[in-house]
Amino acid sequence: AEAARTVAARSSTCVPRAARRQAVIEARKVVVLGAAGGIGQPLSLLLKMNRMVTDLALYDIANVAGVAADLSHCNTNTQVKAYTGPDELAAALTGADLVVIPAGVPRKPGMTRDDLFNINAGIVKGLCEAIAKHCPNAIINIISNPVNSTVPICAEVLKKAGVYNPRKVMGVTTLDVVRANTFVAEAKGLDTRDVDVPVIGGHAGETILPLLSQATPKVLPWFTAEEAAKMTERIQNAGTEVVEAKAGAGSATLSMAYAAARMAESVLLGMAGEQGVVECTYTESSMVPGFQYFASKVRLGPGGVEEFLPLGPLSAFEQEGLEKMKGLLSKNIEAGVESDPSSM
């Protein structure tokens, strides 16, 4: 890393107002795998605008030189480089501090995230093998769906290579938090930037469980049980809302890029030693007995996940939601853990 420098750490507009602070940070290399895609392009733009990202490596199997050339004209200090095709993957990854993975196919109307498993499992597996080889110490943020399964797949690949660190492999569930914050703010007339709704469980259908009872700030009257059920359903189906509106042209890309940029920024702030950086993320976890992987609030630090924060008191409805998700979440985890990487 180059010399430490002082920057406005919360440099983008993705993060809550209250959290914007000054921090001393070092040079950081961030790699985007799948950078030519619907998420990859706007995510790369947001990372190019982040002063904590000194080197940005864009990798895709599709030509990504144009995206890099285009972004390189933005007058920010982030150096952007393009890497196209498997021959250039090693160079893209070498020296990485953070690898963000939005590579893979998105949903079309009528598809569930599980329908993507066969294709995306193989893509994630191949990319994680390269990470194990070329940047085994990097923190990994996985966006590729189904996240509930691709995170265990990544963990299995890294274990096989002897480089797995459970604190550094994170499934990106930030979009669920971003959506929950937006919808709750709209419903309650609050400023979206101030609202914080923890979302736990996983990232598919009923495994997405917003904890509306723990949302801050609270205004009275808060959600009735019936309203909470409706709001929960809206948050769980928000991805499908976008898939249907795009009518075959893919799933959420811009809001996903925004959410992934926030998560990346939080990871980098944690690495820089910033105190009190908290995000919800899907990782290997012992928060809920019987579930090897679970999304919940964690405190981020120099080593990735530094601490799992308690789930806190759940309302009766949320407790029910936790029970309800168990079947699907177990199935998703098992699919990832049991998938035979050699056959992909």
Residues near ligand NAI, by CB under 6 A: 33-34, 36-40, 59-62, 102-107, 116, 120, 123, 126-127, 143-145, 147, 172, 175, 203, 250-253, 256
Residue type, 42: P
Q: Could you tell me if 230 and 70 are in contact, meaning their C-beta atoms sit under 8 angstroms apart? A: no
DSSP 8-state assignment for residue 101 = E
Q: DSSP class of residue 310?
A: P
Dihedral (Cα; 277, 279, 283, 285), 10-degree rounding: 80
Whose Cβ is closer to ligand NAI: residue 40's or residue 223's?
40
- Nearest position to ligand NAI, beta carbon: 37
Q: Which is nearer to ligand NAI, 25 or 200 (CB)?
A: 200
195's tokens: 């609202």
Pair 23, 15: CB distance under 8 Å: no
Q: Least Å distance between CB 131 and ligand NAI? A: 12
Gap between the Cα atoms of 163 and 70, Å rounded: 35
* Paired tokens of 206: 């009923």
Residues 6+ apart with CB under 8 A from 277: 19, 266, 269, 270, 299, 300, 301
CA 34 – CA 12 distance, rounded (Å): 22
User: Which of 3, 32, 53 has its CA nearest to residue 257?
Assistant: 32
Closest C-alpha to 256, from 235, 274, 242, 237: 242
Exposed, middle or buried, 266 (CB in 10 Å: 0-12/13-18/19+)? buried
Residue placing its CB nearer to ligand NAI in the complex, 23 or 122: 122
Residue pair 7/52 in contact by the 8 Å Cβ criterion: yes
Q: CB of residue 153 vs ligand NAI: minimum separation in angstroms? A: 13
CA angle 79, 84, 87 (to 5 degrees): 115
Q: Write down the least CB distance from residue 83 to ligand NAI, Å.
A: 10
Largest CA distance in the chain: 58
Q: Note if 203 is an active site residue.
A: yes
Q: Which amino acid is at 279?
A: E
Decide whether 44 or 213 has the Cβ nearer to ligand NAI.
Answer: 44
Min dist. Cβ of residue 95 to ligand NAI (A):
18
**Minimum distance of ligand NAI from residue 89's CB (angstroms):** 8
Q: Give the nearer residue to ligand NAI in terms of CB position, either 181 or 251.
A: 251
Query: At which residue do the structure tokens 């990319």 appear?
Result: 127
State the minimum distance, in angstroms, from the CB of residue 145 to ligand NAI.
3
Pick 123 or 271: Cβ nearer ligand NAI? 123
| Residue 314 token pair | 């759940």
Which position among 125, 203, 262, 297 bears the catalytic label?
203
140 contacts 154 by C-beta, under 8 angstroms:
yes
For ligand NAI, give the closer residue by CB, 118 or 275. 118
- Catalytic site residues? 203
